[in-house]
């Protein structure tokens, strides 16, 4: 049976849309990641860590308020098992109204909020970012419509144009002075251009409307999700408040850069996880697809991509930072080493969180964030008072490994009634291979003294080591056509069985055959996470 997504059943199959969406999300994220690294590499030589720290504290407030303004509307519109036309007009009214209201409040109370964050210098940037909060409410529903319809090719084009505009504004204003406000205006400019292009690309646009039934549905689904996301933002940003109050603005800037680098493991797959998993997995459950097989392959794919990035950024932290961003940021390297573990664990956590949302268990996310916040705040206090920025990193690692991941996995087990063994097995060998690759990369730098040479040699050695250890699993992520071409480049003894497209090589190297339906939504979702996707560098 082939699943279709058009109302009449004549549209493209879901599996085709998922593959196309994954490709464009991957392309978008890769371009955005490298372009933002390049822009930040330029800006890091113009602004000082203190200015980056001021902007970071402003973004903390903007991110929290923006999360409330969204009210889970985007996720509700993206769910393919809900009636888009029924809830669309009410969703527009809710998102625009709340966005304008909260943006106005942020502008009015910018100075007291900045003081609470630990730096009154953040107030001007906060007033600028209030515009971003108001704009976000306007663009929530249109962006979710593109996500729902897997129109990631449009997202790619609009995001790319917006990022170019934003980068130009950032570099231009940074050269004129006041790096914090330059960052803020660049965000507003990029968001505005992207949003306008998104609305222009829609074939169906919703105006404001009101329906009590739709409002009730949105609140039941969106309110727990919004509260969970708000708590998630508090959990993700409370460390900045601690650093801003306890240490100096320079430390905030260094810590922000370190967190961004260590989060590459998560953001590599962030766009696919957030943009594809929700509509695809909800369709898998709707069509009664093979959920255990989908979980296994999704976990294996996430681990194969996220773990080596975390390991290599950890092993090459100092040469990476000095080469890309400059000597003034070198003190961020020890923090990157520790936070890379948090980034790797966060990639799996992001996958599981999206699966819980697709299952309708948004309340679980709220409970998890409450538990994490209760544990993280005292851990951060102990860490920062005893070991500074290193202690902050250790507090995050302990919390995600002891609380976040275990509770998420247990909740997923209860929600889907599936064994978690497939998730554990899916992540096992990529984890071991990544640790070995990171150690090889670090060892390769020891005889060398020039940072950029260390980065090249260490990256090459670690990357080759990882490919040698995981090439079978990586090959099986490719579609049959590209896989067959790639197989011809390998020695015959290294080739995997091309005739078994669902073969999954386990940790011991033996082939465990998983046989999901090949023309259903489940088969499509098996390839969702394989695309390497990234998100722009930015404070959380």
Tell me which of 172-186, 304-318, 343-357, 438-452 is least confident. 343-357
Instruction: Kindly state whether residues 263 and 239 are assigned to the same domain.
Output: no
**pLDDT tens digits, residue range 246-284?**
888 899 999 999 998 888 777 766 655 555 555 556 555
Is the pLDDT assigned to residue 9 strictly greater than 90?
no
Most confident of 302-316, 342-356, 400-414, 477-491: 302-316
The answer to whether position 485 is within a domain reads: yes
Q: Residue 417 has what pLDDT?
A: 72
Q: Residue 18 has what pLDDT?
A: 56
Instruction: Kindly state whether residues 425 and 486 are assigned to the same domain.
Output: yes
Q: Residue 63 has what pLDDT?
A: 81
Q: Residue 494's pLDDT band (boundaries 50, 70, 90)?
A: low
Q: Residue 1 has what pLDDT?
A: 35
Strand boundaries in 266-356, DSSP class E: none
Owning domain of residue 382: 259-535
The answer to whether position 8 is within a domain reads: no
Mean pLDDT, residues 296-307 taken together: 82
User: Quick one: angle between helices 152-176 and 123-148, nearest 10?
Assistant: 170
Instruction: Kindly state whether residues 364 and 434 are assigned to the same domain.
Output: yes
Instruction: Kindly state whether residues 149 and 77 are assigned to the same domain.
Output: yes
The mean of the pLDDT values for the chain is 76
Q: Residue 508 has what pLDDT?
A: 36
Q: Residue 136 has what pLDDT?
A: 83
Instruction: Kindly state whether residues 443 and 330 are assigned to the same domain.
Output: yes
Instruction: Kindly state whether residues 310 and 184 are assigned to the same domain.
Output: no
The answer to whether position 13 is within a domain reads: no
Instruction: Kindly state whether residues 164 and 270 are assigned to the same domain.
Output: no
Selected residue with higher pLDDT from 501 and 147: 147
Q: Which of 235, 230, 196 is nearest to 102 (CA)?
A: 230
Instruction: Kindly state whether residues 172 and 201 are assigned to the same domain.
Output: yes
Instruction: Kindly state whether residues 149 and 183 are assigned to the same domain.
Output: yes
Rounded CA-CA distance 99/132 in Å is 9
State pTM to two decimals: 0.71
Instruction: Kindly state whether residues 333 and 234 are assigned to the same domain.
Output: no
Selected residue with higher pLDDT from 87 and 29: 87
Mean pLDDT, residues 296-314 taken together: 86
Domain boundary among 219, 246, 273: 246
**pLDDT tens digits, residue range 417-476?**
777 777 777 788 899 999 999 999 999 999 999 999 999 999 999 999 999 898 877 776
DSSP code per residue over 197-226: HHHHH-SS-------HHHHHHHHHHHHHHH
The answer to whether position 37 is within a domain reads: no
The answer to whether position 26 is within a domain reads: no
**pLDDT tens digits, residue range 17-45?**
555 555 555 566 666 667 777 778 888 88
Q: How many CB atoms lie within 10 A of CB 511?
A: 15
**Do residues 220 and 79 make contact, with C-beta atoms less than 8 angstroms apart?**
no
The answer to whether position 446 is within a domain reads: yes
Instruction: Kindly state whether residues 310 and 171 are assigned to the same domain.
Output: no
Counting the structural domains of the chain, the total is 2
The answer to whether position 76 is within a domain reads: yes
The answer to whether position 183 is within a domain reads: yes
Q: Residue 535 has what pLDDT?
A: 35
**Do residues 163 and 147 make contact, with C-beta atoms less than 8 angstroms apart?**
no
Q: Residue 509's pLDDT band (boundaries 50, 70, 90)?
A: very low
Q: Residue 500 has what pLDDT?
A: 44
Instruction: Kindly state whether residues 306 and 193 are assigned to the same domain.
Output: no
**pLDDT tens digits, residue range 354-397?**
777 766 666 777 787 788 888 888 999 999 999 999 999 999 99
């Amino acid at each position: 049976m082939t699943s279709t997504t058009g109302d009449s059943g004549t549209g493209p199959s879901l599996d085709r849309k998922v593959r196309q969406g994954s490709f464009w999300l991957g392309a978008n994220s890769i371009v955005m990641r490298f372009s933002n690294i390049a822009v930040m590499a330029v800006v890091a030589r113009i602004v000082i860590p203190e200015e980056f720290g001021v902007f970071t504290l402003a973004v903390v407030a903007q991110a929290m308020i923006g999360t409330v303004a969204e009210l889970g509307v985007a996720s509700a519109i993206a769910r393919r098992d809900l009636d888009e036309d029924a809830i669309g007009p009410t969703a527009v009214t809710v998102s625009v109204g709340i966005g304008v209201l909260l943006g106005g409040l942020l502008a009015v109370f910018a100075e007291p909020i900045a003081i609470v964050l630990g730096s009154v210098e953040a107030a001007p940037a906060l007033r600028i970012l209030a515009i971003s909060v108001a704009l976000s409410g306007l663009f929530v529903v249109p962006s979710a419509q593109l996500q729902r319809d897997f129109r990631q090719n449009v997202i790619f084009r609009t995001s790319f144009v917006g990022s170019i505009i934003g980068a130009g504004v950032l570099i231009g204003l940074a050269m004129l002075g006041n790096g914090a406000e330059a960052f803020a205006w660049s965000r507003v400019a990029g968001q505005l251009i992207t949003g306008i292009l998104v609305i222009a690309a829609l074939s169906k646009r919703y105006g404001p409307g009101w329906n009590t039934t739709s409002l009730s549905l949105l609140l039941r689904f969106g309110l727990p999700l919004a509260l969970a996301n708000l708590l998630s933002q508090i959990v993700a940003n409370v460390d900045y408040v601690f650093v801003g109050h306890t240490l100096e603005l320079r430390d905030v800037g260094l810590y922000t850069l370190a967190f961004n680098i260590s989060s590459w493991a998560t953001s590599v797959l962030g766009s696919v996880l957030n943009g594809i998993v929700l509509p695809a997995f909800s369709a898998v459950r709707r069509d009664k697809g093979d959920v255990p097989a989908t979980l296994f392959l999704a976990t294996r794919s996430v681990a194969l991509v996220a773990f080596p990035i975390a390991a290599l950024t950890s092993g090459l932290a100092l040469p990476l930072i000095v080469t890309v961003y400059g000597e003034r940021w070198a003190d961020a390297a020890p923090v990157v080493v520790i936070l890379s573990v948090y980034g790797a664990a966060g990639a799996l956590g992001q996958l599981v969180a999206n699966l819980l949302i697709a299952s309708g268990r948004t309340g679980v996310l709220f409970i998890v964030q409450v538990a994490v916040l209760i544990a993280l705040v005292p851990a951060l206090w102990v860490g920062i008072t005893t070991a500074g920025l290193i202690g902050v990193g250790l507090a995050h690692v302990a919390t995600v490994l002891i609380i976040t991941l275990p509770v998420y996995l247990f909740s997923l087990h209860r929600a889907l009634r599936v064994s978690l063994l497939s998730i554990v097995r899916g992540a096992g060998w990529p984890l071991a291979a990544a640790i070995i690759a990171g150690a090889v990369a670090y060892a390769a730098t020891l005889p060398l003294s020039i940072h950029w040479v260390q980065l090249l040699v260490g990256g090459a050695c670690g990357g080759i080591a990882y490919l040698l250890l995981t090439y079978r699993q990586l090959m099986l992520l490719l579609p049959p056509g590209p896989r067959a071409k790639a197989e011809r480049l390998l020695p015959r003894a290294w080739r995997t069985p091309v005739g078994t497209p669902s073969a999954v090589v386990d940790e011991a190297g033996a082939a465990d055959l998983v046989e999901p339906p090949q023309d259903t939504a489940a088969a499509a979702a098996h390839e969702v996470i394989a695309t390497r996707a990234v998100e722009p560098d930015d404070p959380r």
